[in-house]
C-alpha cells in the first residue's frame, strides 16, 4: 500500500493548519515511515483494513526497540494522522482512538549550579569565536532558550533600550523575554565588535549568531560549543543545550519566581509542562534537608 499521498497531505495539514515547526514535522514523518514499513510486511492494501489489532501489533513491535517516551510520541503521531484521515472523510473511525499511552517514569532533569554555569561560560571565552560562544551559552541560560531559538535569533528582534528580546518559538509563536544585564552586555558587544568583522552571507544578514563563513549556525554546532566548554571547565556531567534551559527554570523557581511567568518565558503551551520544575525544587529541598539537618 502506498501511503505517500496521504502523508504529503498530512504534512501540509501540519504545516498550514497546525503551524508546526520543521523539526516536529520531521518527527511525524519518521514515525509514519516506521508504520508504513510495518504495513508493507503485513500486506495491508487499504486504509480501511487498518484496524486496532494491526495498530496494537505495530506498537508492540516498536516497544521492543524504543523507549516508553518514544512509544508515546509514535502513538501521538498515529492519533493525529488518523484523526486527520477522519476529518478528510477518508476513513470512518480512528483505529487508535482507544489505545493508551505507555506509562513514562518521570525523570528529574539534570540541573547545573550557578558556579558550574559560570565556569562553562568562562571556558567558552578561551575558544576560537569565544565571545560568540560565551554569548550563546549566556543567552540559553539567562533566557531559557531552545537550540532552534538560538540559531534562528534575529538582530531585528532585539530591543536593547527595553532590555527585551522577541523569540519565535514552537509553532511560530512569539514571546518576549527580559534580557539580564550580563546577557545584554555580551549580546551588544558580540554584535557591535565581533559579528561585524565576519564576511556575512546576505541570506543571513539578520541572524545573530554566525559561523566563520557568515552563515547561520546549525544545531550540531551549538551542541559542540556547549560540550567543548563543559569539557574545558571539567564539568563531569552529561550536558546538553536543554540542560541550560532546565537550569534557567529551576533557578527561577528556587528564587521565588511564579510558575505562570516561567511558563510564558519558556514558551510552554501548557502550564503542566512547566510544573515539573516544582518537583525538581521539592527534590532539591528534600536532598538539602537530608544532607544538612541533624535529625536526618
pLDDT in tens, 158-172: 999 999 999 988 777
Which residue spans of the chain are classified as CATH 1.10.150.130? 4-87
Composition of the chain by helix, strand, coil, percent to 5: 60, 5, 30
Give pLDDT, residue 122: 92
Residues 209/136, Cβ–Cβ less than 8 Å:
yes
Question: 165: burial class by Cβ within 10 Å (0-12, 13-18, 19+)?
Answer: buried
What is the largest distance, in Å, between two alpha-carbon atoms of the chain? 69
Q: Tell me the pTM.
A: 0.63
Fold of 4-87: DNA polymerase; domain 1 (1.10.150)
- Residues whose CB falls within 8 Å of the CB of residue 232, separated by 6 or more in sequence, listed in order: 123, 124, 126, 127
Secondary element (H or E) of residue 114 = helix 114-124
Q: Among all residues, which ones are annotated catalytic?
A: 146, 170, 242, 245, 268, 277
Using only C-alpha atoms, the chain has a radius of gyration, in whole angstroms, of 23
CATH number of 114-292: 1.10.443.10
pLDDT at 117 over 90: yes
Phi, psi torsion values for 240, nearest 5 degrees: -130, 170
Mean pLDDT of 109-117: 87
267: left (phi over 0), alpha (psi -120 to 50) or beta: left
Could you give the CA distance from residue 140 to residue 132 in angstroms, rounded to a whole number? 12
Q: How many residues does the chain have?
A: 296
Could you give the CA distance from residue 135 to residue 123 in angstroms, rounded to a whole number? 12
60-110 pLDDT, tens per residue?
Answer: 888 888 888 888 889 889 999 999 998 888 888 888 877 777 765 556 668
> What does DSSP assign to residue 210?
B
Q: Which residues pair with 178 in a beta bridge?
A: 164
Q: Which residues pair with 27 in a beta bridge?
A: none
Which residue spans of the chain are classified as CATH 1.10.443.10? 114-292
Neighbours of 157 (CB within 10 A): 16
Amino acid at each position: 500500500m502506498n501511503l505517500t499521498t496521504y502523508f504529503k497531505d498530512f504534512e501540509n495539514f501540519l504545516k498550514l493548519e497546525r503551524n508546526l515547526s520543521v523539526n516536529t514535522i520531521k518527527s511525524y514523518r519518521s514515525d509514519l515511515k516506521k508504520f508504513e514499513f510495518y504495513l508493507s510486511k503485513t500486506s495491508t492494501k487499504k486504509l480501511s483494513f487498518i484496524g486496532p489489532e494491526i495498530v496494537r501489533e505495530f506498537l508492540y513491535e516498536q516497544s521492543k526497540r524504543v523507549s516508553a517516551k518514544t512509544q508515546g510520541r509514535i502513538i501521538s503521531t498515529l492519533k493525529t494522522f488518523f484523526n486527520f484521515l477522519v476529518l478528510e472523510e477518508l476513513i470512518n473511525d480512528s483505529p487508535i482512538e482507544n489505545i493508551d499511552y505507555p506509562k513514562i517514569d518521570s525523570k528529574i532533569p539534570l540541573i547545573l549550579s550557578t558556579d558550574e554555569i559560570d565556569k562553562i561560560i568562562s571556558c567558552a571565552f578561551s575558544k576560537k569565536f569565544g565571545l560568540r560562544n560565551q554569548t550563546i551559552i549566556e543567552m540559553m541560560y539567562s533566557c531559557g532558550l531552545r537550540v532552534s531559538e538560538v540559531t534562528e535569533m534575529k538582530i531585528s528582534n532585539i530591543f536593547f533600550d527595553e532590555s527585551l528580546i522577541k523569540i519565535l518559538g514552537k509553532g511560530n509563536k512569539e514571546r518576549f523575554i527580559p534580557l539580564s544585564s550580563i546577557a545584554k552586555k555580551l549580546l551588544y558587544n558580540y554584535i557591535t565588535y565581533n559579528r561585524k568583522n565576519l564576511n556575512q552571507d546576505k541570506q543571513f544578514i539578520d541572524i545573530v549568531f554566525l559561523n566563520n563563513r557568515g552563515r547561520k549556525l546549525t544545531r550540531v554546532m551549538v551542541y559542540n560549543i556547549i560540550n567543548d566548554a563543559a569539557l574545558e571547565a571539567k564539568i563531569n556531567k552529561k550536558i546538553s543545550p536543554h540542560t541550560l534551559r532546565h537550569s534557567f527554570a529551576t533557578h527561577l523557581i528556587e528564587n521565588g519566581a511564579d510558575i505562570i511567568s516561567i511558563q510564558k518565558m519558556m514558551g510552554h503551551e501548557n502550564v503542566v509542562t512547566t510544573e515539573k520544575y516544582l518537583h525538581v525544587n521539592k527534590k532539591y529541598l528534600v536532598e538539602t534537608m537530608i544532607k544538612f539537618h541533624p535529625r536526618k
